[in-house]
Amino acid sequence: MTIRDWPAAERPREKLLARGADALSDAELLALCLGNGRRGRSAVDLGRELLTRPGGLKALLELEPAALATLPGLGPAKACRLAAALELARRYLACELERADALSDPAACADYLRARLGGYPYEVFCCLFLDSRHRVIACEELFRGSIDGAAVHAREVVRRCLAHNAAAVILAHNHPSGVAEASQADREITAELKRALALIEVRVLDHFIIGSGRPLSFAERGWV
């Protein structure tokens, strides 16, 4: 039986229109992104199969498009639809952050950074560059490393702050292990960046560490 043969109220598209996207299961949302299933399997069946993979939805959406395309029942077209949906979500969060004062809305800032950095299998260090009213000018990924570290160079952070004419900056990096705790090295590089940026009158407002749970905020801990 195909989805077209289901009662109208149970079809993912009709259910979303009638009751909203939050009424759909993960498999049904995936089905809408996929568009169709494969021989003998509906799009919802395919969504359920994908969710049984190790790591579930999170691990699935963290795959690169080329890796997604190799999964049974997907292929390039479906993989591109999933990757596009995820990127739209990231850009939506970026729009929300750009409208707000990044300092007065740390939750929006943390959500955006988690969406941006949470899926990387290696460490990435990025900066949110802010104007004098703490509105976001730009977000740049400055350094990439291995699964357990990335080299951070204060000179490059200073250079990019000057390029953006930033008045303040929020630092962030991910821990691919999923453990959002600060190491001694994390605290030392934060202190080093604060000293370097103070010379050009740029304030470090926060440093977020992104793991599998709630991001750690240096500002909340009193470390910046």
What lies within 8 Å, CB to CB, of 176 at 6+ separation is: 120, 121, 122, 123, 147, 148
Residue 22: per-residue pLDDT: 87
Q: Where are the domains of the chain?
A: 3-88, 100-221
Pseudo-torsion of CA 36, 41, 42, 46, nearest 10°? -70
Whether 217 shows a pLDDT value over 90: the answer reads yes
Q: Predicted confidence band at 148 (pLDDT cuts at 50, 70, 90)? A: low
Dihedral sign from CA coordinates of 110, 115, 121, 124: negative
Calculate the average pLDDT of the chain: 87
* CA distance linking residue 131 with residue 119, whole number of Å: 28
- Averaged over 27-48, what is the pLDDT? 88
pLDDT in tens, 85-130: 988 887 887 776 666 555 566 777 888 888 888 878 889 999 999 9
The number of helices, as runs of H, and strands, as runs of E, in the chain is 10, 5
Q: Is 72 exposed, middle or buried (0-12, 13-18, 19+ CB in 10 A)?
A: exposed
Residue 182 confidence (pLDDT):
93
Share of the chain above pLDDT 70, in %: 92
What's the whole-number mean pLDDT along residues 215-221? 93
Residue 103 is predicted with a pLDDT of 54
Burial (0-12, 13-18, 19+ Cβ within 10 Å), 151: exposed
Residue 184 has pLDDT above 90, yes or no: yes
Q: What is the pLDDT of residues 53-89, one digit of tens each?
A: 988 888 888 888 899 999 988 999 999 999 899 888 8
| CATH dotted code for 100-221 | 3.40.140.10
What phi and psi values does residue 40 have, to the nearest 5 degrees?
A: 80, 0
